[in-house]
Homo-oligomer: A and B are copies of this chain.
Amino acid sequence: MALSVRDELITMKYGAGGRAMRSLIQDVLHDGLLGDDAPGEITLRAMDDGAALPLGNQWLVMTTDSHVVQPLFFPGGDIGRLAVSGTVNDLAMMGATEVLALTCAVIIEEGFSLADLTRIQQSIRRACADAGARIVTGDTKVMGKGELDGIVINTTGVALTDRVVPDSALRDGDRLIVTGSIGDHGMAVMARRLGLAIEGRLESDVNPINGLVRVALGAAPGAVVAMKDPTRGGVASALHEMAGKSGVGIIIDETSLPVSDAVRAASELLGIDPLHVANEGKAVIGVRPQHAEAVLAAIRQHPLGVDAAIIGECTSQRVGAVILDTGFGRRLVTEPEGEPLPRIC
């Protein structure tokens, strides 16, 4: 085992969605688990949003996420809506927009209020309805007082699709679309956690976006070649992963980035780049250049895509790099070590 993880103890950065986490996963958690994949199969090795396995003449897509967000209720959503959206969106990012089934496993701390549990459950129910998804089986565990901070929820999803969209098929000239304003989820949670006065104007974007992705995929056959949801580590992390896996460079036009005034203000106050902040209802979509405008127009027709924008394009230069064109010059967008605040999702 080639351990590149040098720490003897797990620290917060290993759960932050960035480089440290990737190294823990690849060097420790995947050790000995990478078997022989069938042609086209996507498993652990790909480090994608989920797995895709051949099944008949289709693909079974599968993804899992545990949700540990703190606080449980935040402006714009709660852990229940997040748990459904996170998993539905990971399926959608692989091209599977019709959810076959979700599982839901809750671990609850002794002393947790039944009223809060009921509120979370109702939120799960509404998010399932929004996504056209259903929970088919579950699991319930209780840990003692002080053994768990409130509640954590795992959701796992399966879906069938005729065509898998990976996160690695970008090539020179492809355009990148973001489906709406960036940084809303992370900033809303951070503002609530830190008690920022600006909090009232910030709201999480947490939403299942499989319907929006369906529209994007339907706009022009074969036009969408790569997708990633910019959760932990934000759009910067997603772009770095897509660039690295695809073997391209990515140039982003800063002026085209959709950022709300409230997120911009919070970002200046905190000194955190919105590109590094988590989203929970957005996608970064790589599109063949000749179809970019058609896909963008289709996305903007969807209620969750009105602020969508083409934010940049791929280049065969500077492979693996993400470059921000500010209008005055260019600078490298750093790959974050991870999300600035823990338990963002």
Contacts and interface: CB of A to CB of B under 8 A. Distances in A.
Given A12-B110, A107-B152, A114-B5, A158 B60 contact: yes
Interface stretch (A142-150, A191-199, A211-219, A294-302): A142-150
A99 to B, nearest CB: 12
Contacts of A315: none
A14 interface: yes
A35 interface: yes
B143 A110 contact: no
Nearest to A69: B141
B60 A121 contact: no
A44 B136 contact: yes
B66 A114 contact: no
A9 interface: yes
A269 interface: no
A101 B65 contact: no
Q: How many copies does the complex hold?
A: 2
Contacts of A343: 141, 143-144, 147
A56 B21 CA distance: 38
Given A137-B51, A154-B66, A12 B100 contact: no
Nearest to A109: B10
B140 A29 contact: yes
A35 B135 CA distance: 10
A113 B8 contact: yes
Nearest to A150: B147
A228 to B, nearest CB: 15
B66 A142 contact: no
Interface in A119-173: 121-122, 124-125, 128, 134-144, 146-149, 152, 154, 156, 158
A137 B9 contact: no
A267 B126 CA distance: 46
Given A24-B140, A35-B134, A147-B148, 11 more contacts: A10-B109, A10-B112, A28-B117, A28-B121, A33-B125, A51-B137, A56-B56, A62-B103, A105-B154, A107-B152, A154-B156
